[in-house]
Amino acid sequence: MTGASGQLGAAVLDALSDAGLKSVSLTRSELDLEGDRIEETVAGLQVDWLLHCAAYTAVDQAEREPKRALRINGDATAAIARGAARSDTRVLYVSTDYVFDGAMSEPYPEDAPVAPINAYGQSKRVGELAVLEILERPLVVRTSWLMGGGTPNFASTMMRLGRTRDTLEVVCDQRGRPTWVFDLAPALIELMERDAEGVLHVANEGEATWYEVADALFEQARAQGEALELRELRETTTERYGAPAARPSYSVLDLTRARETYGVTLPGWRSGLIRALENC
Protein backbone atom coordinates (compact mmCIF):
# COMPACT_ATOMS: atom_id res chain seq x y z
CA MET A 1 0.00 0.00 0.00
CA THR A 2 0.94 3.63 -0.44
CA GLY A 3 0.34 6.42 2.02
CA ALA A 4 0.75 4.39 5.20
CA SER A 5 1.70 7.45 7.23
CA GLY A 6 -1.46 9.31 6.26
CA GLN A 7 -4.76 9.37 8.08
CA LEU A 8 -6.46 6.68 5.98
CA GLY A 9 -3.30 4.68 5.36
CA ALA A 10 -2.60 4.24 9.06
CA ALA A 11 -6.17 3.02 9.61
CA VAL A 12 -5.83 0.59 6.71
CA LEU A 13 -2.62 -0.82 8.17
CA ASP A 14 -4.41 -1.47 11.47
CA ALA A 15 -7.32 -3.12 9.65
CA LEU A 16 -4.99 -5.31 7.60
CA SER A 17 -3.28 -6.47 10.77
CA ASP A 18 -6.63 -7.18 12.41
CA ALA A 19 -7.64 -9.23 9.36
CA GLY A 20 -4.43 -11.28 9.51
CA LEU A 21 -3.33 -10.14 6.07
CA LYS A 22 0.29 -9.65 5.11
CA SER A 23 1.02 -6.18 3.81
CA VAL A 24 3.94 -4.22 2.45
CA SER A 25 3.94 -0.50 3.14
CA LEU A 26 5.82 1.56 0.58
CA THR A 27 7.57 4.54 2.16
CA ARG A 28 8.22 7.76 0.31
CA SER A 29 11.84 6.75 -0.22
CA GLU A 30 10.70 3.48 -1.79
CA LEU A 31 7.98 5.03 -3.95
CA ASP A 32 8.41 8.75 -4.57
CA LEU A 33 5.21 9.98 -6.23
CA GLU A 34 7.18 12.86 -7.71
CA GLY A 35 10.01 10.63 -8.88
CA ASP A 36 10.69 8.88 -12.17
CA ARG A 37 10.77 5.23 -11.06
CA ILE A 38 7.15 4.73 -10.05
CA GLU A 39 6.19 2.35 -12.85
CA GLU A 40 9.33 0.24 -12.46
CA THR A 41 8.90 -0.02 -8.70
CA VAL A 42 5.28 -1.14 -8.94
CA ALA A 43 6.05 -3.52 -11.79
CA GLY A 44 8.56 -5.27 -9.53
CA LEU A 45 6.11 -5.91 -6.71
CA GLN A 46 4.84 -9.41 -6.02
CA VAL A 47 1.48 -8.66 -4.45
CA ASP A 48 -2.17 -9.37 -5.19
CA TRP A 49 -3.44 -5.85 -4.53
CA LEU A 50 -2.01 -2.35 -4.36
CA LEU A 51 -4.02 0.02 -2.17
CA HIS A 52 -3.24 3.51 -3.40
CA CYS A 53 -4.05 5.72 -0.41
CA ALA A 54 -1.26 8.26 -0.89
CA ALA A 55 -2.40 11.54 -2.40
CA TYR A 56 -2.00 15.27 -2.47
CA THR A 57 -4.94 16.18 -0.21
CA ALA A 58 -4.36 19.86 0.69
CA VAL A 59 -7.45 21.18 -1.08
CA ASP A 60 -6.71 24.88 -0.65
CA GLN A 61 -2.99 24.55 -1.27
CA ALA A 62 -3.76 22.77 -4.55
CA GLU A 63 -5.18 26.04 -5.88
CA ARG A 64 -1.73 27.56 -5.45
CA GLU A 65 0.18 24.63 -6.91
CA PRO A 66 -2.20 22.80 -9.28
CA LYS A 67 0.63 21.32 -11.34
CA ARG A 68 2.06 19.56 -8.29
CA ALA A 69 -1.37 18.24 -7.29
CA LEU A 70 -1.84 16.92 -10.82
CA ARG A 71 1.62 15.37 -10.84
CA ILE A 72 0.96 13.47 -7.60
CA ASN A 73 -2.72 12.59 -7.96
CA GLY A 74 -2.83 12.21 -11.72
CA ASP A 75 0.52 11.43 -13.33
CA ALA A 76 1.84 9.29 -10.47
CA THR A 77 -1.41 7.31 -10.35
CA ALA A 78 -1.11 6.64 -14.09
CA ALA A 79 2.44 5.36 -13.57
CA ILE A 80 1.22 3.12 -10.73
CA ALA A 81 -1.49 1.75 -13.00
CA ARG A 82 1.01 1.01 -15.78
CA GLY A 83 3.30 -0.78 -13.35
CA ALA A 84 0.40 -2.76 -11.91
CA ALA A 85 -0.67 -3.81 -15.40
CA ARG A 86 2.83 -5.18 -16.01
CA SER A 87 2.86 -7.16 -12.76
CA ASP A 88 -0.77 -8.35 -12.94
CA THR A 89 -1.58 -6.52 -9.71
CA ARG A 90 -5.09 -5.33 -8.83
CA VAL A 91 -5.32 -1.67 -7.81
CA LEU A 92 -7.72 -0.05 -5.35
CA TYR A 93 -7.59 3.69 -5.91
CA VAL A 94 -9.16 5.87 -3.22
CA SER A 95 -10.88 8.90 -4.73
CA THR A 96 -13.17 11.67 -3.58
CA ASP A 97 -16.62 13.21 -3.68
CA TYR A 98 -14.92 16.38 -4.91
CA VAL A 99 -15.01 15.04 -8.48
CA PHE A 100 -18.62 16.34 -8.44
CA ASP A 101 -19.68 19.97 -8.72
CA GLY A 102 -22.38 19.96 -6.03
CA ALA A 103 -25.20 21.02 -8.35
CA MET A 104 -27.40 18.00 -7.62
CA SER A 105 -29.90 17.86 -4.77
CA GLU A 106 -30.01 14.07 -4.34
CA PRO A 107 -27.19 11.57 -3.71
CA TYR A 108 -24.69 11.16 -6.53
CA PRO A 109 -24.61 7.68 -8.10
CA GLU A 110 -21.35 6.37 -9.51
CA ASP A 111 -22.30 7.20 -13.10
CA ALA A 112 -23.35 10.79 -12.41
CA PRO A 113 -21.54 13.38 -14.56
CA VAL A 114 -18.29 14.51 -13.00
CA ALA A 115 -17.31 18.17 -13.05
CA PRO A 116 -14.78 19.04 -10.34
CA ILE A 117 -14.71 22.70 -9.34
CA ASN A 118 -11.30 22.83 -7.68
CA ALA A 119 -7.76 21.78 -8.57
CA TYR A 120 -7.74 18.94 -6.06
CA GLY A 121 -10.88 17.39 -7.51
CA GLN A 122 -9.56 17.83 -11.03
CA SER A 123 -6.32 16.04 -10.17
CA LYS A 124 -8.16 13.15 -8.50
CA ARG A 125 -10.39 12.77 -11.54
CA VAL A 126 -7.31 12.47 -13.75
CA GLY A 127 -6.13 9.68 -11.43
CA GLU A 128 -9.49 7.95 -11.70
CA LEU A 129 -9.41 8.04 -15.49
CA ALA A 130 -5.88 6.66 -15.59
CA VAL A 131 -6.78 3.68 -13.42
CA LEU A 132 -9.99 3.01 -15.33
CA GLU A 133 -8.35 3.25 -18.74
CA ILE A 134 -5.10 1.39 -18.10
CA LEU A 135 -6.23 -1.55 -15.95
CA GLU A 136 -8.52 -4.38 -16.99
CA ARG A 137 -10.22 -4.74 -13.60
CA PRO A 138 -9.67 -1.52 -11.66
CA LEU A 139 -11.38 -0.62 -8.39
CA VAL A 140 -12.03 3.05 -7.70
CA VAL A 141 -13.58 3.84 -4.33
CA ARG A 142 -14.91 7.34 -3.90
CA THR A 143 -15.39 8.44 -0.32
CA SER A 144 -15.98 11.74 1.42
CA TRP A 145 -15.09 14.00 4.34
CA LEU A 146 -12.50 11.68 5.88
CA MET A 147 -11.71 12.25 9.55
CA GLY A 148 -11.14 10.45 12.83
CA GLY A 149 -7.53 9.38 12.41
CA GLY A 150 -4.41 10.23 14.35
CA THR A 151 -3.09 12.86 11.94
CA PRO A 152 -4.62 16.36 11.69
CA ASN A 153 -8.19 16.30 10.34
CA PHE A 154 -11.46 18.18 10.79
CA ALA A 155 -12.46 16.36 13.98
CA SER A 156 -9.11 16.85 15.69
CA THR A 157 -8.94 20.48 14.59
CA MET A 158 -12.42 21.19 15.97
CA MET A 159 -11.56 19.61 19.30
CA ARG A 160 -8.29 21.52 19.55
CA LEU A 161 -10.11 24.79 18.90
CA GLY A 162 -13.00 23.87 21.19
CA ARG A 163 -10.53 23.39 24.03
CA THR A 164 -8.78 26.74 23.48
CA ARG A 165 -11.37 29.21 22.13
CA ASP A 166 -14.67 30.44 23.50
CA THR A 167 -16.27 31.13 20.08
CA LEU A 168 -16.07 29.26 16.77
CA GLU A 169 -17.64 29.70 13.35
CA VAL A 170 -18.13 26.62 11.14
CA VAL A 171 -19.48 26.38 7.60
CA CYS A 172 -23.13 25.33 7.43
CA ASP A 173 -23.87 25.35 3.67
CA GLN A 174 -21.84 22.35 2.51
CA ARG A 175 -23.53 18.96 2.85
CA GLY A 176 -21.92 15.54 2.49
CA ARG A 177 -21.31 12.21 4.22
CA PRO A 178 -18.82 12.44 7.11
CA THR A 179 -16.68 9.30 7.01
CA TRP A 180 -14.49 7.90 9.78
CA VAL A 181 -11.29 6.30 8.56
CA PHE A 182 -11.62 3.49 11.11
CA ASP A 183 -14.94 2.50 9.50
CA LEU A 184 -13.76 2.91 5.91
CA ALA A 185 -10.50 0.95 6.27
CA PRO A 186 -12.04 -2.50 6.97
CA ALA A 187 -14.61 -1.86 4.25
CA LEU A 188 -11.81 -1.41 1.71
CA ILE A 189 -10.32 -4.74 2.75
CA GLU A 190 -13.74 -6.37 2.49
CA LEU A 191 -14.08 -5.09 -1.08
CA MET A 192 -10.71 -6.57 -2.00
CA GLU A 193 -11.60 -9.91 -0.44
CA ARG A 194 -14.83 -9.91 -2.47
CA ASP A 195 -12.90 -9.22 -5.68
CA ALA A 196 -14.76 -5.98 -6.31
CA GLU A 197 -14.19 -3.90 -9.42
CA GLY A 198 -15.41 -0.74 -11.11
CA VAL A 199 -16.36 2.50 -9.40
CA LEU A 200 -17.99 2.36 -5.97
CA HIS A 201 -19.11 4.93 -3.42
CA VAL A 202 -18.32 4.02 0.19
CA ALA A 203 -18.95 6.32 3.15
CA ASN A 204 -20.66 6.35 6.49
CA GLU A 205 -24.45 6.39 6.40
CA GLY A 206 -26.17 9.70 7.08
CA GLU A 207 -25.36 13.19 5.94
CA ALA A 208 -24.48 16.45 7.61
CA THR A 209 -22.92 19.87 7.27
CA TRP A 210 -19.53 20.68 8.75
CA TYR A 211 -21.34 22.72 11.41
CA GLU A 212 -23.46 19.71 12.38
CA VAL A 213 -20.38 17.50 12.67
CA ALA A 214 -18.63 20.00 14.92
CA ASP A 215 -21.74 20.43 17.05
CA ALA A 216 -22.08 16.65 17.47
CA LEU A 217 -18.40 16.34 18.47
CA PHE A 218 -18.71 19.02 21.13
CA GLU A 219 -21.98 17.56 22.43
CA GLN A 220 -20.38 14.13 22.76
CA ALA A 221 -17.29 15.55 24.45
CA ARG A 222 -19.42 17.33 27.03
CA ALA A 223 -21.51 14.18 27.54
CA GLN A 224 -18.28 12.38 28.40
CA GLY A 225 -17.48 15.00 31.03
CA GLU A 226 -15.01 17.19 29.16
CA ALA A 227 -15.03 20.85 30.14
CA LEU A 228 -14.54 22.75 26.90
CA GLU A 229 -13.48 26.36 26.64
CA LEU A 230 -16.03 26.81 23.85
CA ARG A 231 -19.12 28.78 24.78
CA GLU A 232 -20.63 29.59 21.38
CA LEU A 233 -20.64 27.70 18.08
CA ARG A 234 -21.82 29.87 15.21
CA GLU A 235 -22.85 29.04 11.66
CA THR A 236 -21.09 30.72 8.77
CA THR A 237 -21.27 30.40 4.99
CA THR A 238 -18.70 29.17 2.53
CA GLU A 239 -18.56 32.64 1.02
CA ARG A 240 -17.91 34.34 4.36
CA TYR A 241 -15.32 31.74 5.32
CA GLY A 242 -13.42 32.57 2.14
CA ALA A 243 -11.35 29.44 1.53
CA PRO A 244 -9.13 29.60 -1.59
CA ALA A 245 -10.68 26.45 -3.14
CA ALA A 246 -14.32 26.18 -4.13
CA ARG A 247 -16.19 23.29 -2.51
CA PRO A 248 -19.32 21.52 -3.77
CA SER A 249 -22.30 22.65 -1.71
CA TYR A 250 -23.82 19.16 -1.96
CA SER A 251 -21.66 16.07 -2.44
CA VAL A 252 -23.67 13.30 -0.76
CA LEU A 253 -22.70 9.97 -2.35
CA ASP A 254 -25.23 7.28 -3.28
CA LEU A 255 -24.09 4.14 -1.46
CA THR A 256 -26.49 1.67 -3.12
CA ARG A 257 -24.08 -0.11 -5.46
CA ALA A 258 -21.53 -1.15 -2.82
CA ARG A 259 -24.31 -2.31 -0.52
CA GLU A 260 -26.33 -4.28 -3.08
CA THR A 261 -23.46 -5.70 -5.14
CA TYR A 262 -20.90 -6.49 -2.44
CA GLY A 263 -22.80 -6.24 0.85
CA VAL A 264 -20.52 -3.46 2.08
CA THR A 265 -22.06 -0.85 4.35
CA LEU A 266 -20.73 1.51 6.99
CA PRO A 267 -22.63 2.52 10.14
CA GLY A 268 -24.16 5.94 10.63
CA TRP A 269 -21.52 8.61 11.13
CA ARG A 270 -22.76 9.53 14.61
CA SER A 271 -21.89 6.06 15.88
CA GLY A 272 -18.18 6.87 15.49
CA LEU A 273 -18.12 10.01 17.62
CA ILE A 274 -16.82 8.35 20.78
CA ARG A 275 -13.98 6.58 18.99
CA ALA A 276 -13.14 9.73 17.05
CA LEU A 277 -12.80 11.68 20.29
CA GLU A 278 -10.39 9.04 21.58
CA ASN A 279 -8.14 9.93 18.62
CA CYS A 280 -8.34 13.68 19.29
C-alpha to C-alpha distance for 137 and 146, rounded to whole angstroms: 26
Q: Is residue 108 annotated as a catalytic residue, yes or no?
A: no
Most distant CA pair in the chain, distance: 57
Question: Which helix H or strand E contains 95, and what residues bound it?
Answer: strand 90-96
Rounded to the nearest 5°, which phi and psi values hold at 121?
Answer: -60, -40
Helices (H), the chain: 7-18, 38-43, 59-64, 66-70, 76-87, 119-134, 154-162, 181-193, 210-223, 238-241, 256-262, 273-278
From the list 93, 120, 211, 250, the catalytic residue is 120
In 3-state terms, what secondary structure has residue 276? helix
Q: What residues act catalytically?
A: 120
